[in-house]
Amino acid sequence: MKRLAGILFISVYMLAFAEFHQLMRIPFLIEHFNVHRQADPELSFSQFLNMHYMGPVIVDDDFMQDQQLPFRDVGCHTLLGSAVCSFAPPSFMIEPPAILSAEFYSYNEIRKPQFSSFDIFQPPRCA
């Protein structure tokens, strides 16, 4: 029972958030192909797909039926999921300072105490 419930929940999830819900429109594709086949018996399935998917969008009497075909339009969430953004990194140039000082101070020379710390810690002297 748990396995069946798991399969059901996964199926509902896949149908709701992926393009699998487009597969449920396949019977409409076959029905629409039969309508076109009755109008033109020489029409093959590949010509039908080429006319509805590869060619330019033609607004005619059955335009609303054409829009209900599977994978006719792609949802925005799929485009965002598969988009690849490539951009050039920003270019910048680090310029050296204009004025260089002739004197160099190390860290110890600037903050050097006036007395040495070793002057305090000396062994006792005999008087």
The per-residue pLDDT for range 70-103, each reduced to its tens digit, is: 877 665 544 445 556 667 777 888 887 777 667 7
Q: Which residue has the tokens 């409409």?
A: 28
For residue 36, give every residue at least 6 positions away whose Cβ sits within 8 Å of its Cβ, in sequence order, or none. 43, 48
65 contacts 32 by C-beta, under 8 angstroms: yes
- Please tell me the pTM assigned to this model: 0.47
| pLDDT of 79 | 46
Q: For residue 69, is pLDDT > 80? A: yes
Q: Name the DSSP class of 73.
A: S
Output 61 or 88, whichever has higher pLDDT. Answer: 61
Q: CA neighbours within 13 Å on the CB side: how many for 99?
A: 2
